[in-house]
């Protein structure tokens, strides 16, 4: 389900939930978002569990650090816990749980968006519905595409120096070669975009993304459920 949602609607929904979450201090809501995001990751066909764990594991350690920091240094008279006097656990533990689960909730929202979005489709939606200029849009795509190419060039530069029996090579030489090739790639990309008329606003496009009615209903339903949950938890 999450893979088929229009990227623009997915982005707007994620941003609204993220901004709204900043004004709610409730660990139950954070845990609910985390649980739903995990379900979406497990049911998504685009997300590989190994890729998701690369992001989730460091975030989990960061949230643990936040929990212990809040536990040892947070003021017990904080406004966050004034209405939580019925809690059996101490106020410091409550604040630590709120802050640590909030970090994971924000991170999971970002992971869901990044790993389930088709970048090309997202860019086309930005151009069509948000009127993003084509040269900005394709520059974003080129910058994303260059990242694996830069890493590959770094490995090639190290290998070429080893083949020349240069056992005393430094990372400075490798980085210099990598940067030179990266600048050359960016210049060639800019020239090709200019030659194909990307500076012209009147271009036509082969891909014409459309927002379906069921996608709008689904995103609205998600937002309604989120705000109803906030009202129930207050």
How confident is the model over 42-78, as pLDDT tens digits? 888 888 888 888 888 899 898 888 888 877 776 555 4
Within-domain flag for 105: yes
What pTM was estimated for this model as a whole?
0.74
Of residues 97 and 195, more confidently modeled: 97
Name the nearest CA neighbour of 175 among 188, 190, 158: 158
| Whether 7 and 80 share a structural domain | yes
From residue 191, alpha-carbon distances to 68, 76, 123, 197 in Å are 53, 60, 20, 10
| Whether 20 and 114 share a structural domain | yes
Within-domain flag for 129: no
| Whether 16 and 111 share a structural domain | yes
| Whether 34 and 111 share a structural domain | yes
Residue numbers of the domain that contains 39: 2-123+210-233
| Whether 191 and 214 share a structural domain | no
| Whether 219 and 188 share a structural domain | no
Within-domain flag for 202: no
């Amino acid at each position: 389900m999450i893979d088929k949602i229009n990227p623009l609607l997915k982005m707007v929904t994620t941003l609204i939930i993220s901004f709204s979450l900043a004004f709610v201090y409730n660990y139950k809501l954070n845990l609910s978002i985390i649980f739903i995001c995990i379900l979406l990751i497990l049911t998504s066909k685009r997300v590989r569990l190994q890729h998701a764990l690369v992001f989730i594991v460091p975030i989990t350690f960061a949230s643990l650090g936040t929990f212990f920091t809040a536990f040892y240094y947070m003021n017990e008279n904080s406004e966050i816990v004034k209405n939580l006097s019925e809690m059996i656990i101490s106020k410091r533990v409550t604040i630590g749980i709120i802050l640590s689960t909030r970090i994971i909730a924000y991170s999971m929202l970002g992971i869901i968006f990044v790993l389930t979005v088709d970048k090309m489709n997202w860019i086309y939606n930005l151009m069509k519905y948000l009127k993003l200029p084509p040269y900005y849009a394709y520059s974003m795509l080129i910058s994303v595409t260059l990242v694996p190419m830069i890493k590959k060039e770094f490995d090639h530069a190290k290998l070429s120096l080893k083949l020349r029996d240069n056992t005393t090579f430094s990372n400075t030489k490798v980085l210099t070669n990598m940067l030179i090739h990266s600048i050359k790639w960016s210049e060639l990309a800019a020239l090709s975009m200019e030659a194909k008329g990307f500076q012209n606003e009147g271009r036509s496009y082969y891909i014409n993304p459309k927002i379906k009615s069921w996608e709008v209903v689904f995103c609205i339903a998600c937002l309604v459920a989120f705000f109803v949950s906030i009202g129930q938890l207050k």
